[in-house]
Amino acid sequence: MPIPPTALTAVTTRGFLLSGWPWRSAVYLLTGLLPTGAVALPLAACALPWVVLVQRLIAHDYRALGVLVTGAALTALVVITIGPLWAIVVASAERYRLRLVDRRPARSGHRTPDEPGLLAWVRLRFTEAATWRETAYALLLVIVTPMSSAVAATIAVADGILVVSPLLVASGQPVMLGPLGTVTDAAQGVPYAIAGLVLLPGLLYLAGLVAGAHAALARALITGDPGDRLRAELTEVSRSRARLVDAFEAERRRIERDLHDGAQQRLVGLTLQLGLARHDLPADTAAARAVAEAHEQAKQFMAELRELINGIHPPVLTDRGLPGALEELADRFAAIPVTMTVDLPGRLPDPVESTVYFVVSEALTNVAKHAASAGATVLVRGNRDVVTAEIRDDGRGGADAGRGKGLTGLADRVAVLGGTMSMSSPVGGPTVVRVELPCRP
């Protein structure tokens, strides 16, 4: 028979009384006074100035009223600022105590700060729902635990008195049992003792129920449920993807600068030298033909290098922004005529500008290769919050983004920035690619 995971489920099993669950539940209830005191004593100390203030107001004693109000306000500030942090400590200890009546792992619902330092840790804790759930649990400890402990202790003491009532009477001490009457001799106390022994298993079941209910409340408030952990993990994945995109974008810019300022400049110098040497050599000689061929190859390679630089990160995108880069893209796109309309309030964040540019470039390349279209229309517009780009062609349609890697890769990149990318391409056209990107983190 499998071991029950919690005291609450163990109560429903037949072997509950013979297991260790009743005693574990009793220990859990008794030790609950420790965290309750850890919360109640500081709270009582902070409430003292308020109690004095209310008493003075009731008695119409307004002496030192300013001092009392200041003290009460300071204690309220301390409770608001330090209270949640102290609740985190209490909840951490409670997760260890929870193991007495709950065998399941009790994980914290807190996330790890992205930045090092105490300030980042405190800022994260005050913005987490887990912190305020633990604060609510700490307050409930002060209210629920004394009540449940008092009820359980009263029942336990009453049952204990019933069991030992014959012994107490035999020692010459009459036993008062409230509405049940008074026991004055040992023989009269025997039925009560038997009743107390019969009720003892019920007392153990009661301990299991109370401890199990308390543990269920604790698990709901001070442990992270799978949904919280999943949301935290998804948030961390999104942040890491965004950091990777930023790092990738910075690396693209570095490579573009190195090629533009280094390799391309040296290639330009080499092309000029070959051109000068070509003019200095006599025509119709083998050397002149070799230099001329090398000169043409150098110019062709320089054009290819310029295209490579534009493919990595076009310099015009840095210099003139997205409108200028898209206009230049439309001007040098010779495959089909492109009508470009750009309506933007100004410069956008670098990752957004880069993503929109490459989405438009890839979409136009696909139109030229596969759509058999006579032209394409690009509309880019937006504000400080969101930017949309729509690429439309009048080709044959029937495009499928899943069959190619270009648009799929761009869709992934759009998703990293929190945007969406959609494509409509019925057979016969038109094909419309639409991208929407937020401009704020």
Q: Is the pTM value of this prediction over 0.75?
A: no
pLDDT classification of 164: cutoffs 50, 70, 90: low
**CA angle (79 as vertex; 76, 84 as ends), nearest 5:** 150
- What CA–CA distance (Å, rounded) separates 257 from 264? 10
Nearest to 140 by CA among 203, 220, 78, 82: 220
Q: For residue 430, is the peptide bond before it cis, meaning its omega torsion is within 30 degrees of 0?
A: yes
The whole-angstrom separation of Cα 195 and Cα 51 is 46
Phi and psi, residue 428, nearest 5°: 100, -10
Contact (Cβ atoms closer than 8 angstroms) between residue 437 and residue 419: yes
For every residue of 139-182, DSSP letters joined together read HHHHHHHHHHHHHHHHHHHHHHHHHHHHHHHHTT--EE-GGG-E
Provide the percentage of residues in the chain whose pLDDT is more than 70: 68
Rounded to 5 degrees, what are φ and ψ at 198?
Answer: -65, -40
For 193-214, the pLDDT digits (tens) are: 677 777 777 778 888 888 888 8
Residue with tokens 């996330």: 111
Higher pLDDT: 412 or 421? It is: 421
pLDDT at position 319 = 74
pLDDT band at 11 (very low <50, low <70, confident <90, very high): confident
**What is the residue extent of each domain of the chain?**
7-224, 239-311, 314-438
Decide yes or no: CATH 3.30.2020.30 for domain 314-438.
no
- What tens digit of pLDDT does each residue of 268-277 get? 676 777 777 7
Bridge partners (DSSP) listed for residue 376 = 338, 393
Q: Which of the listed ranges 101-115, 233-247, 250-264 does the model predict with the highest average pLDDT?
A: 101-115
With the C-alpha atoms ordered 131, 135, 138, 144, is the resulting torsion angle positive or negative? negative
Query: Exposed, middle or buried: residue 182 (CB in 10 Å: 0-12, 13-18, 19+)?
Result: exposed
**Dihedral sign for Cα atoms in the order 282, 284, 289, 295:** positive
245 vs 141 pLDDT, higher one: 141
- 313-321 average pLDDT score: 71
The answer, yes or no, to whether residue 338 has pLDDT greater than 60, is yes
Q: Across residues 151-167, what is the average pLDDT?
A: 71
